[in-house]
Amino acid sequence: MTATIEQAAPGGAWNPTRRRRTTGSVIWHVAALAALAVVLYPVFWLVSASFKPSDDIIGNLQLLPTSPTFDNYSSAVEGIAGVPVLTFFRNSLIIAVGSVVGTVMSASLAAYAFARIRFRGRGVLFAMMIGTLLLPFHVLMIPQYIIFQRLELINTFVPLLLGKFLATEAFFVFLLVQFMRGLPRELDEAARIDGCGHVRIFWSIMLPLMRPALITASIFSFIWSWNDFLGPLLYLNDPNTFPLSRGLQLFIDQQSNSDYGAMIAMSMLALLPVMLFFLAFQRYLVDGVATEGLKG
């Protein structure tokens, strides 16, 4: 479908002359770049402001710093409330990597059951899974907090990770189910005839084939838990356990007695892994959203 459009376009009916096409294309690129400049301005601003002297950040329209400095980064690295930024980084990393491991494991197991095993009650359970996609987290927030508070798990990462290992984020289960349904049935049927059990089929046939979907799920899981703020806000009060999102919030709270430049530099540091992830994997991310949204 897409291929036919792409082939049709270059020699298409409404490109009568080559020159007109070139002019049109130049205008198009100018428009697209202009829109892009507006959209990406806040990101440019952040990058540039992180190299500006603290009192030059607000009230200065110049995009590029006139006298670039690394001072912001060196004071950002010192951290806040006696906690070095490295600790925030480490905490973010533990939470994000833990989320990825938990999500991939539990969601792929659940997806295999939904997509490939026929068992009593599957329809009902699948409907429940879809239902949780639309459920606002706020309905669960208070009882979940009470549970973890009773279990004395506040200030640990357990409340942030347990749900990931139990596939509570239906998005990922759904994503993998949709992907797995697209894999040919003959594969596992042949394997079953050869005497393979479900464990073997799942592990040796399905998992390797699911790699693209697993990569997409991993990236989203990583970025979302890296950016997550509400979870750490609820469950973590000890600055030593804070991930970057909470560390940044601490910076804002104490803004009166700390410098603005360091806060901006820290924001930059907090976004850096996400930006790098994006640059490396953007193909998976964008395609993941588009295809999963439309596949029916």
List binders of other proteins among 93-132 (CB under 8 A). 105-106, 109-110, 112-115, 117-120, 122-123, 125-130, 132
For residue 27, state whether it binds other proteins (rule: CB under 8 A): no
For residue 137, state whether it binds other proteins (rule: CB under 8 A): yes
CA-based nearest residue to 287, from 183, 216, 210, 209: 216
Helix axes of 211-227 and 244-253: crossing angle, nearest 10 degrees: 20
Report 45-104 residues binding other proteins (CB under 8 A).
Answer: 45-46, 49, 57-59, 61
CA-based nearest residue to 99, from 165, 159, 156, 155: 165
d(Cα 289, Cα 274) in Å, to the nearest integer?
Answer: 17
DSSP state of 56: G
Q: How far is the CB of 233 from other proteins (least distance, A)?
A: 8
| CB contact at 8 A, 262 and 105 | no
Q: How far is the CB of 39 from other proteins (least distance, A)?
A: 6
Q: How far is the CB of 68 from other proteins (least distance, A)?
A: 18
Q: How far is the CB of 289 from other proteins (least distance, A)?
A: 5
Q: How far is the CB of 67 from other proteins (least distance, A)?
A: 19
Helix residue ranges, H only, the chain: 2-8, 18-49, 71-78, 85-116, 122-133, 138-150, 158-165, 170-181, 185-193, 198-200, 207-209, 211-227, 230-235, 244-253, 260-294
User: Exactly one of 55, 78, 238, 253 binds other proteins (CB under 8 A); which one?
Assistant: 253
Report 205-224 residues binding other proteins (CB under 8 A).
Answer: 220, 223-224
Instruction: Between 86 and 286, name the residue whose CB sits nearer to other proteins.
Output: 286
Q: How far is the CB of 254 from other proteins (least distance, A)?
A: 11
Instruction: Between 34 and 86, name the residue whose CB sits nearer to other proteins.
Output: 34
For residue 284, state whether it binds other proteins (rule: CB under 8 A): no
User: Exactly one of 69, 155, 156, 227 binds other proteins (CB under 8 A); which one?
Assistant: 227
Report 155-194 residues binding other proteins (CB under 8 A).
Answer: 162-163, 165-171, 173-175, 177-178, 181, 185-186, 189, 192-193
| CB contact at 8 A, 188 and 205 | yes
Q: How far is the CB of 82 from other proteins (least distance, A)?
A: 20
Tell me the C-alpha to C-alpha distance, in Å, between residue 110 and each of 68, 115, 184, 272.
51, 9, 19, 32
CB count within 10 Å of CB 261 equals 23
- Site residue total, other proteins (CB under 8 A): 125
Token pair belonging to 58: 């607000």
Instruction: Between 63 and 86, name the residue whose CB sits nearer to other proteins.
Output: 63
d(Cα 61, Cα 117) in Å, to the nearest integer?
Answer: 60
Token pair belonging to 87: 């600790």
Q: How far is the CB of 175 from other proteins (least distance, A)?
A: 6
Report 28-47 residues binding other proteins (CB under 8 A).
Answer: 28-29, 31-32, 35-36, 39-40, 42-43, 45-46
| CB contact at 8 A, 269 and 90 | no
For residue 139, state whether it binds other proteins (rule: CB under 8 A): yes
